[in-house]
Chain A
Amino acid sequence: MEVLNTFFIAPVLDMADSPIFLLEVIIGGLMAGVMYSLVALGFVLIYKASGVFNYAQGAMVLFAALTLVGLLDNHVPLILAIILTMIVMVGVAFLIERYMLRHLVNQAQIILFMATIGLNFVFEGAGQIAWGSNVKKLDVGIPENSFEVGGVLINSFDLFAAVTAAVLVGVLAIFFQKTSVGRALRAVADDHQAALSVGIPLKTIWIIVWSVSGFVALVAGIMWGGKAGVQFSLVLIALKALPVLILGGFESVPGAIIGGLLIGVFEKVSEVYWGPAFGGAIEGWFAYMAALVFLMFRPQGLFGEKIIERV
């Protein structure tokens, strides 16, 4: 009876007690979710276009953010710094294609996955050698004040992140669906060899997609870095993005967004209302468990392509 009370009745009563607070928690969750989505987006792009499950996305976020901060510290103007960072990310994409992916065409997915974990180490080490490993402040001039809408506090930084994410997704959706490069990307995603045989330049496509995901990493890096400072733990947000991925489906851009929002809300609400019942610090695994339970009913995630098995 007591268990029933702490786990099922008390949290609901708490929610009903103060709807404004619940709304605030939910909005806080949505904002956190946007941040997860930004990271998950990078995963999805690369998975879609090359079938590579890129564990190094988190390290790419760190690397991009470190590069940007490093440039800003050397008094490079903001716009120029962002452009330079973007050039660096394109260069990185080129190197990755030239020295890693090209040699791993048609390998099993697990091999590619492990290779990206190796890549993760390289990014971590290189970023910290180049720019040092202490926590850095990243300030790109996004306003950080809160304002009230109908009694609910909203942080303008979070709002800015949400708008950025929305724009990013819109642009990416058009890019994937309407341009010829986007079509080529989807063809490569389906089958490396078949795409090659109809004359799609695999190398160029890969450079493009890794550059795009480097760009997404840069955006995510600016947002996360602006919020929490640029530090080593940015790498670990990759682990935060994984439940978002399986919830939304690996191949789906909208999935990454909606999955991120759902996970964000879910995490915040559970932390606030159920956290005390579990004894706290549940955000590390709650999202995973939720995604796992969800997958039992829909093994390909919310928006993943239907798994068709042929014998």
Chain B
Amino acid sequence: MFYREAGQFKSTYGADQAIFPIVQDRWFMVLVLLVSYVVVPMFADEYWYQAILIPFIILALAAVGLNILTGYCGQVSLGTGAFMAVGAYATYKLSTGFPELNIIIVFLMSGAIAAAVGIVFGLPSLRIKGFYLAVATLAAQFFILWVFNKVEWFFNYSPSGTITAPPREIFSVLITGPEASPEARYYVVLVFLTVFALAAKNMARGHLGRSWMAIRDMDIAAEIIGIRPLQTKLLAFAISSFYCGVAGALYIFCWLGSAETEAFDILNISFPVLFMVIVGGLGSVLGSILGAGFITLLPIFLTNAPPVIGLEISTELQKHIEEIIFGVMIIFFLIVEPHGFNRLWQIAKEKLRMWPFPY
């Protein structure tokens, strides 16, 4: 009843090809944007921004990027952390080398650099498939992080080996580094996520997305109907790495402030982001964002839940219990809904369509 496309006639091709062809979807998007841009900043405080909202949005951006590669194009990658590191270090080098350059442009250029690196490490995907490829992308993960650790030029020969975000402004508002206000940083990452998520959705439904999906479903068949595997796969690697690179840049510049390569470790980034994509649903932009929310919120919830219900346990024990519950939740979720949040969303829409007369 609430979600019924009956009666919405389209009289132009443009209307038929819109990103959100159904009125209710458009309203829903407006609502989401309204909540995230207006309502959330009214209520959020420093802790919410720093502990939940900003990391959630940045990781959602990375998850959207990985979903392009893994969900749409079917190439499993465990090198997300490395591509994010490329973005972060490139931003650091560019913004310290050219301080007068607009930081947004620096972010985008770093994304482009990450894309170039992604293409290089995507080349093996033409011959290597499935889990062999997944393990091969680990080569990128370990090699790139090692380079950033070893070559001192990348962290400007600082003795601690860390990179620190220099303060940068747009429209004379400080947006990077530890001094920037959480609101400003929140808006920056949110704008990036909005634009990039819409772009991803757009790509996915067009020619490019369809050729990715064809490659994913069966690459030989796709080749036979005239899709070039080389260009298509490499493009997926490039665009995915671009997203991850920008996310990595934001990760350091708008969230952590300063970091070492440790921050982009496989256990800190690559696996969690892959979890977000799987839990959210392969091949779904909305799913990636929901998955990112789930994976970032779950540990925070688990940490805060025992004191709330009045349980006193040692931190050591609690850490292990958290680990177990996290693992169990993941398995449970995969069993209950292997297609992720996206599928739940579809089911919900289907239910709304029928309600209140299910037959």
Cα distance A44–B347 when bound, in Å?
Answer: 38
B124 CB within 8 Å of chain A: yes
Cα distance A283–B236 when bound, in Å?
Answer: 30
Contacts A100-B335, A299-B132, A309-B220 given; indicate if A292 touches B327 (C-beta within 8 A): no
Contact with B along A105-127 (1 / 0, CB 8 A): 00111110111011111111110
Residues of A within 8 A of B224 (CB): 311
Cα distance A107–B331 when bound, in Å?
Answer: 13
Q: Which of A100, A110, A301 is in CB contact (< 8 Å) with B278?
A: A110
| B129 touching A307, Cβ below 8 Å | yes
B68 CB within 8 Å of chain A: no
Contacts A119-B327, A129-B320 given; indicate if A295 touches B136 (C-beta within 8 A): yes
> Could you tell me the distance in whole angstroms from the C-beta of A212 to the nearest C-beta in chain B?
21
Cα distance A258–B117 when bound, in Å?
Answer: 32
Please give me the residue from chain A that is nearest to B149 by CB atom: A281
A291 CB within 8 Å of chain B: yes
| B334 touching A120, Cβ below 8 Å | no
A263 CB within 8 Å of chain B: no
Contacts A281-B150, A284-B142 given; indicate if A291 touches B135 (C-beta within 8 A): yes
Residues of A within 8 A of B221 (CB): 311
Size of interface on A: residues with Cβ below 8 Å to B: 50
A69 CB within 8 Å of chain B: no
Cα distance A281–B139 when bound, in Å?
Answer: 15
A242 CB within 8 Å of chain B: yes
| A296 touching B128, Cβ below 8 Å | yes
> Could you tell me the distance in whole angstroms from the C-beta of B190 to the nearest C-beta in chain A?
28
Please give me the residue from chain A that is nearest to B271 by CB atom: A117
Contacts A122-B328, A311-B220 given; indicate if A109 touches B130 (C-beta within 8 A): yes
| A250 touching B131, Cβ below 8 Å | yes
Contacts A118-B330, A246-B136 given; indicate if A285 touches B143 (C-beta within 8 A): yes
> Could you tell me the distance in whole angstroms from the C-beta of B290 to the nearest C-beta in chain A?
16
Size of interface on B: residues with Cβ below 8 Å to A: 45
Q: Which of B127, B134, B329, B338 is in CB contact (< 8 Å) with A107?
A: B338
Contacts A108-B338, A110-B278, A121-B326 given; indicate if A242 touches B135 (C-beta within 8 A): yes
Residues of B within 8 A of A273 (CB): none
| B321 touching A114, Cβ below 8 Å | no
> Could you tell me the distance in whole angstroms from the C-beta of A199 to the nearest C-beta in chain B?
26
Q: Give the residues from 318 to 359 in chain B that come closer than 8 angstroms, CB to CB, to chain A.
A: 320-324, 326-331, 334-335, 338
Contact with A along B112-138 (1 / 0, CB 8 A): 000000000000100111111011101
| A292 touching B322, Cβ below 8 Å | no
| B320 touching A289, Cβ below 8 Å | no
Q: Which of A109, A279, A288, A289 is in CB contact (< 8 Å) with B131?
A: A109
Residues of B within 8 A of A296 (CB): 124, 127-128
A128 CB within 8 Å of chain B: yes
Cα distance A177–B306 when bound, in Å?
Answer: 52
| B135 touching A243, Cβ below 8 Å | yes
> Could you tell me the distance in whole angstroms from the C-beta of B140 to the nearest C-beta in chain A?
9
Contacts A111-B334, A133-B316 given; indicate if A122 touches B143 (C-beta within 8 A): no
Cα distance A108–B326 when bound, in Å?
Answer: 21
Q: Which of A118, A279, A288 is in CB contact (< 8 Å) with B331?
A: A118
Contacts A107-B338, A114-B334, A117-B275 given; indicate if A299 touches B321 (C-beta within 8 A): no
Residues of B within 8 A of A87 (CB): none
Please give me the residue from chain B that is nearest to A126 by CB atom: B324
Residues of B within 8 A of A121 (CB): 323-324, 326-327, 330
Q: Give the residues from 55 to 77 in chain B that come closer than 8 angstroms, CB to CB, to chain A.
A: 70, 76
B157 CB within 8 Å of chain A: no
Q: Give the residues from 284 to 311 in chain A that come closer than 8 angstroms, CB to CB, to chain B.
A: 284-285, 288-289, 291-292, 295-296, 299-301, 307, 309, 311
Q: Give the residues from 6 to 38 in chain B that come closer than 8 angstroms, CB to CB, to chain A.
A: none
Q: Which of A118, A129, A279, A299 is in CB contact (< 8 Å) with B328?
A: A118
Residues of A within 8 A of B338 (CB): 104, 107-108, 111
Contacts A53-B131, A115-B331 given; indicate if A292 touches B323 (C-beta within 8 A): no
Cα distance A281–B136 when bound, in Å?
Answer: 19
Contacts A118-B331, A124-B323, A125-B324 given; indicate if A299 touches B127 (C-beta within 8 A): yes
Cα distance A288–B144 when bound, in Å?
Answer: 12
Please give me the residue from chain B that is nearest to A130 by CB atom: B320
User: Can you list 16 A-B pairs with a CB-CB distance of less than 8 A?
Assistant: A103-B335, A114-B278, A119-B327, A122-B328, A123-B327, A124-B323, A125-B320, A133-B316, A242-B135, A246-B131, A278-B150, A279-B150, A281-B150, A292-B124, A292-B136, A311-B220
Which 10 pairs from chain A and chain B are nearest by CB? Answer: A121-B327, A118-B330, A125-B323, A285-B142, A288-B139, A125-B324, A122-B327, A125-B320, A103-B335, A118-B331
